Amino acid sequence: METAVDSKLIEAITYDEDSRHLRVYLTNGQRREYEGVPKGVVVGLTMAESPGNFYMKAIRGKYPPRP
C-alpha cells in the first residue's frame, strides 16, 4: 500500500511489514529501497514533523539499500 507523505523531499512510501521492505519515492522522481526496516521506524517517518529530516537521520545510511 502506498502512503502519501507531507514532505518537500518525500512524495510517498510503501512498506511491506512481512519482509520489512521500505520503498521511498522522492519528489525528484527517484526511488530508494531499504531492507530490514522495523515498522516502528516507518511509523516514525509518517508521523514526523519533518519526514525528510527523519528519513535523512533515521533511515538513509542506517539500513541496507536494496539494489
Whole-number pLDDT of residue 67? 74
Residue spans per domain, the chain: 2-58
Confidence of residue 1 (pLDDT cuts 50, 70, 90): confident
pLDDT in tens, 4-59: 999 999 999 999 999 999 999 999 999 999 999 999 999 999 999 999 999 999 99
Q: Is the Cβ–Cβ distance between 9 and 51 less than 8 Å?
A: yes
> What's the pLDDT score for residue 13?
98
C-alpha 22, offset from chain centre:
6
22 closest CA partner among 32, 8, 7, 9 = 32
Say how far apart CA 28 and CA 31 lie, in whole Å.
9
Identify the DSSP state of 48.
-
Q: What is the pLDDT of residue 33?
A: 97
**What are the backbone dihedrals phi and psi of residue 37, each rounded to the nearest 5 degrees, phi first?**
-85, 120
Residue 60 and residue 67: Cα distance in Å, rounded?
14
